[in-house]
Structure 1
Amino acid sequence: MEKNIEVSLLFDFYGELLKPSGRQAIDLYYNDDLSLAEIAAQTGITRQGVRDSIKRCEQQLFDFEKKLGLFRQFQTLRQGLDEIAVIAQKIKTDSQDNTIKALAQSIEQKAGALKE
């Protein structure tokens, strides 16, 4: 996975654990796509200070994931729900029994709801 996307996703999971100044710098850099100079002008700190803050927060995000694994668990759960929905669709398509089709439809809907 590309680092920018990974940091942005990890920020969604662990952003609230960062200090407010670091959280703001990461948000502006990765989500608002501002340059270091633009962030520095907006926050009143130096460009180098912004860079250091972003690098420090990136490392913290990766450390949080290494220790907690919430994003990895989330990805595994989504993949499992996708697989359940595919299996339910196959059961629904292949079955001649209306009761089984209805149950497969229910499973498919519940898997979709859990993904949201």
Structure 2
Amino acid sequence: MEKNIEISLLLDFYGGLLKPDAAQMIDLYYNEDLSLSEIAAQTGITRQGVRDRIKRCEQNLFELEQKLGMLKRFRELEQGLDRILEAAGKIDSETDNQRIKDLAQSIKAEALGLKE
């Protein structure tokens, strides 16, 4: 997975555990695509200071993921839901029994609802 996307996802999960100004810098850099110089101008610190803070925050995010594993678990759940959707689709398409079709469609609806 591309680093930018992974950092953005980690920020979604753990951003509340970072200092607000640090989370804002990560957000500006990865989600808003601002340069280090643009962030420095907005925050009133040096470009090198912004870079150092972002690197420290990245490290913190990766350490939190290593300890808590929320993003890993989220990905596993999404993959499981995909497998459930696929199986329910096969059941729905391979049976003539209306009751089984209805149950398969209900399973698909629930899984799709959980994916949202």
Q: TM-score with structure 2 length normalisation? A: 0.98
Query: Which secondary structure state, in structure 2, belongs to the residue aligned with residue 45 of structure 1?
Result: coil
Percent identical pairs in the alignment equals 66
Q: Structure 1, residues 40-83: CA drift from partner, whole Å, max 9, x if none?
A: 00000110110000000000000000000000000000010011
- Residue 55 of structure 2: aligned partner: 55
Pairs within 5 Å for 1:31-46: 31-46=31-46
- Residue 12 of structure 2: aligned partner: 12
Counterparts of 2:49 and 2:21 in 1: how far apart (Å)?
11
RMSD of Structure 2 on Structure 1 (CA): 0.5
Q: TM-score with structure 1 length normalisation? A: 0.98
Aligned residues: 116
- Residue 95 of structure 1: aligned partner: 95
Q: One-letter code of the match for 2:95?
A: S
Q: One-letter code of the match for 1:27?
A: D
Q: Which runs of 5+ in 1 are unaligned?
A: none
Q: Which runs of 5+ in 2 are unaligned?
A: none
- Residue 28 of structure 1: aligned partner: 28
Q: One-letter code of the match for 1:78?
A: E
Moved over 6 A (4+): none
Counterparts of 1:109 and 1:82 in 2: how far apart (Å)?
12
Counterparts of 1:102 and 1:5 in 2: how far apart (Å)?
38
